């Protein structure tokens, strides 16, 4: 009888149940079977399909906007694609646009992985940029200006995120509300700073003084705006975040806390510490995003520093499945939408607002993509 | 004392040699007691035919089930965990819809789309996990299920509750909040609620699982009262003894199928047992442990419950290595809070919990885990596992920070996975791949996974809460065997279980918990079941 | 005399600013009692304000604006409702998506409707309505009884919503769904129907709140007019302990801070005046955050608030 044999296996296996499994017993040769998992495993392929379906549907829904205004959606998307990736200079501009989005969304990926909904990246970006830039201005044209500004931008973003993080971990206050409200405080504060106490004496509009030359990020591709910050995003921030999430115990804790905080606590994980760290790391990266916009592109802190990168980061992190590689691809895509929409506006006289609209629709479809995928699998469009 | 008879017989029955039940199988003759059933028979309050239900994960919970309940009878639905009893009853009460099959109420074919419809047809269910809103009063809870649109007419409902409870001799204060009632009374509220809805067929899902022996007797008295009033009662149970004690007829289910329906008067315990569990079940007998040095000393422990009142009141006890201490008691008498305080999941107001000269009270769980305390939790879905993470990640939960699984914060994925492979094998977890999500496992295998993790990390104290919840007899036996083996190796075990049989079978000593206190203690050799039963209800004599 | 006049005018302004917050937080109280955390209220209010403005502008009839505002609010909230009730998607993220979507829609269609650029104005508004006799009471009269009709409606709604939640069968079911939707469905309550009903109610109230901003408080539309109001309303619900009376008190407090930041320039004098006045814009947000720190800790909401619930 099959079941009886199982019972016997259990009993015969039980002597192996030593109180302390030694390292050698855990690595018994027969136990360490190689697991066949390629780079494109089935589950990974499935999440790529899901992202692609979400993008496709978001573009279809957005074409309703074009149709309403009498524009041909295909033409509009052609201009959008052209404006984003049509030639080398457009492509480089898209990469320039991608840099702050990538920084923000890598951080948000960490926060979202442990289900901490930091929607305050916009404010953290402003505070980090302002603190970092003012540090550089304060230090003047010295070699210290750039590194010091980076440190201060990180601390600024972290510090600003630490406030809602403490409110969440110590008092249990919903971080969505606090991080969002703190965006207004941050933007209004920075606006006030550059309008009054730190206002440039020479500029016509409220903005800070210009940062010293030593703090300006070097241009890596001549005659473009491709600055060092983009390289740092791609070659330092991205691999670092990937490593942190995939290979470390911190990444493991993020996953456990995100999926089941009760189980995390039960399993001996310090849930509050993990949430706190996730929030301030995302704040730090948002701060860097803002600083590199100032030091690579704008050279002084303006009230219009960010067109909403903090919110775009939300859509990007979700579309990328909180996975650094996915985030890289989706931040490139959304940077393309940003720049492409500008081109659509110029060519077809389309009003602004397309970017927010696409982001909203995109998030909805990303959330619903599991449903859509299952529906398609039932219909036999995709194999289960 | 007829009240206790039922209980005593059960415990002696457990000690009978198993060979007997094998012999019984042969003696079961032609099914003379089987009642011929027909849907046309107007005596059936409810009759189901050919019910099949397959869950989305592929589990066939009901396979072509046919059975009927007569008017004014108590009918027991008997079977092991996972036999499909609850699924069948959820179908009858409108909580689930069947894939195929027909349901006849009073001889008429009906479709039961939701719980409201079921109630209209006169079918009501008391779920195993009671379905009352804790922060509502009795009246409000009853009002929820009585459709009176517009203004909330609580006075009418209150009067009805009083009338119904008087009629059956069930005392209840309609204005108490449910969270202030003990479990036994909550169950009573559920029954009253169904009666207020003029239900004719009451389904009780494992109603005795949370009750003390005395409360069980009280419940059975109520059930007989209902029968006298002409109601049909279906009792779902996995305890043969209880099925025999209360019902007129018994239907046995196994692996989603109806095995047989018998008249209670024409059968006996052995026959039923052999029908419920197919084949030979090895039973570990209550062997003795060899207590060694003190493993845990708990002194004057005070712990607050969620309501802010003290739930654990000055508890003292000690556990030695190589010993199993069973804590008996009705759920809700402070056990949960005690366990959470011992494992660092809940703040301790005062008192100490000392292990190897180190006070564990108010230390975080990570500290207590490192000291060598394992905890098999009752809330396996909520707390014990992370459903959307892989099996290997789940098994690594408590050791991820230790070498060789990680070093300098860097995880060694290969070691984590090979450990998972090893545990899957040793604990007979039915899983395709250690990288599969835990959500793909069945409830029983999830339980095994959690037990595997907790029993394999070299702990010196194991706190086990309902360690065999949701497992069939064989898997339960395997876990009992493992606990006893660990005891033999000098591990101390603190066992909490709602199943008194389990406690009696495994424990060297049994402490009784009532109202946040340890009210008595027995050595397993000198166990006085009558006193134990009384103590569980707070009686000191 | 002038001091008192200014004080009265300021107090009246506090009440006026409280009005949209009260309408929105009453709506949010109802849905949160049913276990749904709707952060999309921010976007719904924007759409309410926008659709109300469009309706009034193009028909020239204020009441039509009121109707279109409610339709806009209900449509936005129902879209959110379909996502979280029908598809059981994450409530927080769905709310954020609605907000982004709403701001995209408002920005885009503002320019579609008024291609010339600039901000269109209405030359008619819902004027304050002086209640006969009562508005003659010194001090209190001009503050409380000389307000737009929205205000009286919102005040009347406080006891009505209270009655709805605590004294009707619907309210009892709503609360049970918010405590434990699984149990509620076991006793035969149609969880989805209850939740959709509460969402429609919220949509109407939030639409009205938006309409108040564009059809009574200001006579123009700008996507920034309602910014942050939705989130402040959600905070008010928390601080008001999910009780309509609490929502009333909270709305008055936060309305005052908004009035203060709005009136900053009028009160402040001296060389730093414009600087300080600009700094005052953070006041409502900072007050909300501080209030959450002080009062948000102890409040325990409906047990199932924000939790996903899928039918078995």
Candidate from C167, C176, C186 with C-beta closest to B136:
C176
Which domain CATH number covers C26? 1.10.3470
Residue C216 maps to a domain: yes
C167–B151 CB contact, under 8 Å = yes
Residue C98 maps to a domain: yes
d(CA B402, CA B425): 22
A221 DSSP assignment: S
A199 DSSP assignment: B
Is B134 in contact with B87 (CB distance < 8 Å)? no
ipTM of the modeled complex: 0.89
B459–A256 CB contact, under 8 Å = no
Extract the runs of DSSP E, i.e. beta strands, from B377-497: 406-407, 410-411, 461-465, 492-496
What are the distances in angstroms from CA A321 to CA A109, A289, B85? 8, 20, 40
* Phi, psi torsion values for A331, nearest 5 degrees: -70, -35
Q: Is the pLDDT of residue C284 over 60?
A: yes
Name all domains of chain A by residue range, CATH numbers in brackets.
46-378 (1.10.3470)
| 3-state SS track over B57-70 | CCCEEEEEEEEEEE
Contacting residues of A for C282, CB less than 8 Å apart: 184-185, 188-189, 192
d(CA B20, CA B278): 14
A249–B406 CB contact, under 8 Å = yes
A268–B398 CB contact, under 8 Å = yes
User: Which residues in chain A (254-293) have CB-CB distances under 8 A to chain B?
Assistant: 255-256, 259-260, 262-270
A240 CB within 8 Å of a chain B CB: no
Predicted local confidence at residue B494, as pLDDT: 96
Residue C177 maps to a domain: yes
For residue range C130-171, what is the model confidence (pLDDT) as tens digits? 888 888 888 888 888 888 889 999 999 999 999 999 999 999
What are the distances in angstroms from CA A340 to CA A82, A92, A278, A352, B232? 7, 13, 32, 12, 71
Candidate from A176, A191, A356 with C-beta closest to C39:
A176
Contacting residues of B for C186, CB less than 8 Å apart: 95, 115, 125, 127, 131
Predicted local confidence at residue A321, as pLDDT: 92
Interface test with C, best of A59, A127, A185, A195 (most C CBs within 10 A): A185
Residue C213 maps to a domain: yes
Chains in contact with C, counting 3 or more C-beta pairs less than 8 Å apart as contact: A, B
Per this entry, what is the length of chain B?
Answer: 541
| Integer Rg of chain B from CA | 24
Predicted local confidence at residue A2, as pLDDT: 37
Chains in contact with A, counting 3 or more C-beta pairs less than 8 Å apart as contact: B, C
Contacting residues of A for B255, CB less than 8 Å apart: none
A247–B396 CB contact, under 8 Å = no
- A250 sits in which H/E element: helix A249-259
C170 CB within 8 Å of a chain B CB: yes
Q: Give B93-117 as a DSSP string.
A: TTSS--SEEEEEETTEEE---SHHH
Rounded to 10 degrees, what is the CA torsion of C230, C235, C237, C239?
Answer: -160
Number of A/C CB contacts below 8 angstroms equals 137
d(CA B64, CA B369): 48
C86 CB within 8 Å of a chain B CB: no
Average pLDDT over residues C115-123: 80
Under DSSP, is residue B259 helix (H, G, I), strand (E, B) or coil?
strand
A19–B386 CB contact, under 8 Å = no
| Residue A330 tokens, joined | 């989706």
Contacting residues of C for B152, CB less than 8 Å apart: 166-169, 171-172
Any residues with CB less than 8 A from the CB of A66 and at least 6 apart, and which? A72, A73, A76, A348, A350
Candidate from A17, A35, A247 with C-beta closest to B435:
A35
d(CA A345, CA C156): 47
Residue C128 maps to a domain: no
pTM to 2 decimal places: 0.86
Print the domain residue range for C282: 8-118+142-298
Interface test with C, best of A111, A116, A173 (most C CBs within 10 A): A173
What are the distances in angstroms from CA C300 to CA B38, B119, B141, C213, C242? 54, 33, 21, 31, 9
Residue C126 maps to a domain: no
Residue C52 maps to a domain: yes
HSE value, Cβ hemisphere, 13 Å, CA-based, for B503:
26
Interface test with B, best of C33, C179, C188, C191 (most B CBs within 10 A): C188
Query: What rounded mean pLDDT belongs to chain B?
Result: 84
C104–A357 CB contact, under 8 Å = yes
d(CA A320, CA A108): 11
pLDDT tens, N- to C-terminus, chain A (384 residues):
333 333 333 333 333 333 333 333 333 333 333 344 555 677 788 889 999 999 999 999 999 999 988 889 999 999 999 999 999 999 999 999 999 999 999 999 999 999 999 999 999 999 999 999 999 999 999 999 999 999 999 999 999 999 999 999 999 898 999 999 999 999 999 999 999 899 988 888 899 999 999 999 999 999 999 999 999 999 999 999 999 999 999 999 999 999 999 999 999 999 999 999 999 999 999 999 999 999 999 999 999 999 999 999 999 999 999 999 999 999 999 999 999 999 998 898 888 888 999 999 999 999 999 899 989 988 888 776
Predicted local confidence at residue A384, as pLDDT: 63
pLDDT bracket for residue B284 (50, 70, 90): low
A177 CB within 8 Å of a chain C CB: yes
Which has more pLDDT, B355 or B214? B355
pLDDT bracket for residue C299 (50, 70, 90): low
Q: Looking at B247-346, list the stretches that DSSP marks H as alpha helix, in order from N- to C-terminal side.
A: 269-276, 335-342
Q: Is the pLDDT of residue B415 over 60?
A: yes
Q: Give C3-14 as a DSSP string.
A: HHHHHHHHHHHH
For residue range B43-62, what is the model confidence (pLDDT) as tens digits? 889 999 999 998 876 778 89
Q: Is the pLDDT of residue C310 over 50?
A: yes
A252–B489 CB contact, under 8 Å = no
Predicted local confidence at residue A137, as pLDDT: 96
Average pLDDT over residues C95-108: 93
Determine if the peptide bond prior to C308 is cis (ω within 30°): no
Candidate from A68, A117, A177 with C-beta closest to C235:
A177
Q: How many CB atoms lie within 10 A of CB A378?
A: 10
Contacting residues of B for A252, CB less than 8 Å apart: 393, 396, 400, 411
Beta-strand relationship, B350-355 and B294-304? antiparallel
Residue B363 CB burial class (10 angstroms; 0-12, 13-18, ≥19): middle
For residue range A180-239, what is the model confidence (pLDDT) as tens digits? 999 999 999 999 999 989 998 888 889 999 999 999 999 999 999 999 999 999 999 999
Residue C281 maps to a domain: yes
Q: How far is A353 from chain C (nearest CA, A)?
A: 4
C100 CB within 8 Å of a chain B CB: no
Say what angle helices A175-195 and C283-295 make with each other, to 10 degrees: 150
B148–C189 CB contact, under 8 Å = no
Q: Worst-scoring range by mean pLDDT, A163-172, B30-39, B120-129?
A: B30-39
Number of domains in chain C: 1
Q: Worst-scoring range by mean pLDDT, A353-362, B99-108, C247-256, C266-275?
A: C266-275
Q: Worst-scoring range by mean pLDDT, B118-122, B319-323, B329-333?
A: B329-333
User: Which residues in chain C (31-50) have CB-CB distances under 8 A to chain A?
Assistant: 39
Residue of chain C nearest B56, judged by CA positions? C312
Beta-strand relationship, B373-376 and B358-359? unpaired
For residue range C18-58, what is the model confidence (pLDDT) as tens digits? 999 999 999 999 999 999 999 999 999 999 999 999 999 99
Any residues with CB less than 8 A from the CB of A252 and at least 6 apart, and which? B393, B396, B400, B411
Per this entry, what is the length of chain C?
Answer: 312
C167–B133 CB contact, under 8 Å = no
Candidate from B280, B418, B428 with C-beta closest to A32:
B418
d(CA A197, CA B25): 93
C216 CB within 8 Å of a chain B CB: no
Q: How far is A250 from chain C (nearest CA, A)?
A: 24
Is B447 in contact with B454 (CB distance < 8 Å)? no
Q: Which of B480, B475, B478, B489 is nearest to B441 (CA)?
A: B475
User: Which residues in chain C (102-161) have CB-CB distances under 8 A to chain A?
Assistant: 102-112, 115
pLDDT bracket for residue C254 (50, 70, 90): very high
Predicted local confidence at residue A1, as pLDDT: 35
C33 CB within 8 Å of a chain B CB: no
C87–A368 CB contact, under 8 Å = yes
Contacting residues of A for C87, CB less than 8 Å apart: 367-368, 371
Candidate from B409, B459, B482 with C-beta closest to A249:
B409
Chains in contact with B, counting 3 or more C-beta pairs less than 8 Å apart as contact: A, C
């Amino acid at each position: 009888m099959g079941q009886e044999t199982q019972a016997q296996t259990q009993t015969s296996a039980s002597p192996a149940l030593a109180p302390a499994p030694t390292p050698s017993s855990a690595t018994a040769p027969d136990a360490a079977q190689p697991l066949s998992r390629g780079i494109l495993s089935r589950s990974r392929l499935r999440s790529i399909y899901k992202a692609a379906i979400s993008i496709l549907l978001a573009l279809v829904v957005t074409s309703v906007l074009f149709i309403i205004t009498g524009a041909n959606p295909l033409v509009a998307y052609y201009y959008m694609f052209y404006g984003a990736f049509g030639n080398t200079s457009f492509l480089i501009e898209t990469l320039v646009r991608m840099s702050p989005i990538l920084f923000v969304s890598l951080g948000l990926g960490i926060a979202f992985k442990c289900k901490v909904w930091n929607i305050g990246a916009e404010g953290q970006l402003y505070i980090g940029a302002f603190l970092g830039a003012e540090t550089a201005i304060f230090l003047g044209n010295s070699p210290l200006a750039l590194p010091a500004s980076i440190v201060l931008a990180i601390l600024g973003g972290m510090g600003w995120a630490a406030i809602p993080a403490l409110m969440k971990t110590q008092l249990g206050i919903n971080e969505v509300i606090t991080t969002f409200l703190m965006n207004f405080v941050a933007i209004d504060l920075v606006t006030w700073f550059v309008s009054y106490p730190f206002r440039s004496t020479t500029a016509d509009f409220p903005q800070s003084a210009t940062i010293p030359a030593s703090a300006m990020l070097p241009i890596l591709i001549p005659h473009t705006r491709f600055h060092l910050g983009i390289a740092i995003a791609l070659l330092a921030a991205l691999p670092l975040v990937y490593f942190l999430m995939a290979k470390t115990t911190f990444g493991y804790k993020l996953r456990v806390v995100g999926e089941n905080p009760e189980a995390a606590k039960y399993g001996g994980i310090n849930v509050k510490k993990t949430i706190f760290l996730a929030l301030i790391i995302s704040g730090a990266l948002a701060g860097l995003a803002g600083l590199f916009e100032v030091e690579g592109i704008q050279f002084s802190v303006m009230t219009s520093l960010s067109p909403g990168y903090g919110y775009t980061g939300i859509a990007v992190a979700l579309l990328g499945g909180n996975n650094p590689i996915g985030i890289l691809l989706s931040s490139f895509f959304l940077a393309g939408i940003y720049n492409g929409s500008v081109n659509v506006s110029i060519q077809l006289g389309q009003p602004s607002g397309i970017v927010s609209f696409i982001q909203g629709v995109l998030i909805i479809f990303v959330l619903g993509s599991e449903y859509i995928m299952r529906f398609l699998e039932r219909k036999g469009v995709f194999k289960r | 004392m007829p009240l206790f008879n039922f209980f005593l017989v059960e415990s002696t029955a457990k000690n009978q040699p198993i060979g007997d039940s094998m012999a019984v199988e042969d003696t079961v003759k032609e099914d003379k007691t089987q009642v011929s059933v027909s849907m046309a028979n107007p005596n059936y309050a409810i009759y189901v035919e050919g019910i099949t239900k397959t869950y989305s994960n592929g589990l066939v919970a009901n396979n072509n089930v046919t059975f009927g309940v007569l008017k004014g009878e108590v009918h027991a639905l008997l079977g092991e965990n996972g036999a499909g009893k609850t699924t069948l009853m959820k179908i009858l009460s409108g909580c689930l819809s069947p894939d195929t099959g027909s349901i006849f109420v009073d001889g008429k074919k009906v479709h039961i789309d939701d719980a409201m419809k079921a109630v209209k047809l006169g079918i009501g269910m008391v779920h195993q996990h009671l379905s009352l809103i804790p922060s509502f009063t009795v009246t409000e809870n009853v009002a929820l299920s009585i459709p009176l649109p517009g203004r909330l007419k609580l006075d009418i409902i209150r009067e009805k509750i009083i009338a119904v409870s008087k009629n059956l001799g069930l005392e209840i204060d309609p204005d108490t909040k449910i969270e202030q009632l003990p479990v036994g009374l909550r169950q009573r509220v559920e029954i009253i609620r169904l009666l207020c809805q003029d239900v004719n067929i009451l389904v009780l899902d494992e109603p005795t699982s949370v009750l003390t022996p005395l409360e069980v007797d009280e419940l059975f008295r109520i059930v007989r009262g209902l029968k006298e009033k002409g109601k049909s009662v279906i009792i779902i149970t996995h305890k043969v003894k209880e099925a025999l004690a209360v019902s007129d007829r018994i239907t046995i289910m196994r692996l989603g199928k109806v095995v047989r329906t018998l008249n209670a008067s024409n059968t006996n315990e052995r026959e039923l047992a052999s029908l419920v569990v197919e084949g030979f079940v090895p039973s570990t007998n209550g062997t003795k442990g060899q207590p060694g040095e003190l493993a845990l000393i708990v002194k004057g422990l005070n712990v607050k419950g969620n309501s802010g009142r003290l739930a654990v009141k000055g508890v003292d006890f000690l556990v030695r290595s190589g010993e199993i201490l069973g804590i008996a008691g009705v759920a809700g008498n402070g056990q949960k809070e005690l366990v959470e305080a011992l494992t660092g999941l809940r703040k301790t107001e005062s008192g100490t919990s000392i292990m190897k000269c180190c006070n564990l009270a108010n230390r975080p769980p990570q500290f207590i885990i490192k000291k060598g305390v394992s905890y098999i939790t009752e809330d396996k879905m909520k707390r014990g596992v992370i459903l959307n993470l892989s099996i290997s990640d789940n098994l690594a939960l408590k050791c991820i920070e230790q070498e060789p699984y990680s070093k300098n914060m860097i995880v060694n994925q290969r070691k984590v996975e090979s450990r998972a492979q090893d545990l899957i094998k040793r604990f007979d977890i039915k899983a395709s791949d250690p990288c599969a999500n835990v959500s793909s496992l069945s409830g029983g295998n999830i339980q095994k996974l959690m037990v595997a993790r907790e029993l394999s990390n070299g702990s010196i104290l194991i706190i086990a809460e309902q360690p065999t919840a949701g497992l069939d007899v064989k898997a339960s036996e395997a876990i009992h065997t493992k606990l006893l083996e660990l005891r033999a190796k000098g591990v101390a075990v603190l066992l909490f279980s709602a199943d008194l049989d389990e406690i009696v079978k495994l424990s060297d000593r049994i402490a009784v918990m009532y109202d946040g206190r340890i009210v008595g203690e027995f050595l397993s050799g000198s166990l006085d079941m009558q006193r134990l039963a009384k103590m569980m209800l707070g009686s000191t004599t | 005399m002038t001091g008192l006049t200014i004080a009265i005018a300021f107090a009246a302004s506090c009440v006026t600013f409280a009005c949209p917050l009260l309408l929105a937080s009453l709506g949010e109280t109802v849905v949160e009692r049913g276990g749904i955390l709707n952060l999309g209220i921010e976007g719904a209010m924007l759409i309410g304000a926008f659709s109300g403005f469009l309706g009034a502008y193009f028909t020239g009839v204020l009441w039509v604006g009121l109707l279109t505002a409610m339709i806009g609010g209900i449509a936005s909230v129902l879209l959110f409702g379909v996502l979280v009730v029908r598809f059981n998607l994450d409530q927080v993220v769905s709310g954020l998506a609605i907000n982004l979507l709403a701001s995209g829609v408002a920005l885009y269609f503002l320019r579609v409707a008024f291609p010339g650029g600039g901000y269109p104005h209405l030359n008619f508004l819902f004027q304050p309505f002086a209640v006969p006799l009562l508005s003659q009471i010194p001090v209190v009269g001009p503050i409380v009884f000389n307000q737009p009709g929205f205000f009286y409606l919102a005040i009347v709604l406080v006891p009505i919503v209270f009655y709805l939640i605590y004294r009707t069968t619907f309210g009892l079911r709503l609360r049970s769904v918010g405590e434990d939707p699984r149990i509620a469905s076991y006793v035969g309550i149609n969880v989805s129907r209850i939740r959709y009903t509460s969402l429609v109610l919220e949509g109407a109230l939030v639409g009205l709140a938006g309409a108040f901003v564009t059809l009574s408080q200001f006579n123009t539309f700008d996507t920034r007019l309602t910014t942050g109001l939705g989130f402040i309303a959600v905070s008010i619900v928390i601080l008001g302990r999910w009780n309509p009376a609490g929502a009333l008190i909270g709305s008055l407090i936060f309305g005052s801070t908004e009035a203060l930041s709005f009136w900053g320039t009028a009160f402040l004098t001296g060389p730093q005046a414009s600087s300080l006045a600009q700094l005052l814009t953070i006041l409502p947000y900072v007050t909300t955050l501080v209030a959450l720190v002080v009062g948000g800790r102890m409040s325990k909401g409906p047990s199932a608030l924000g939790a996903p619930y899928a039918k078995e």
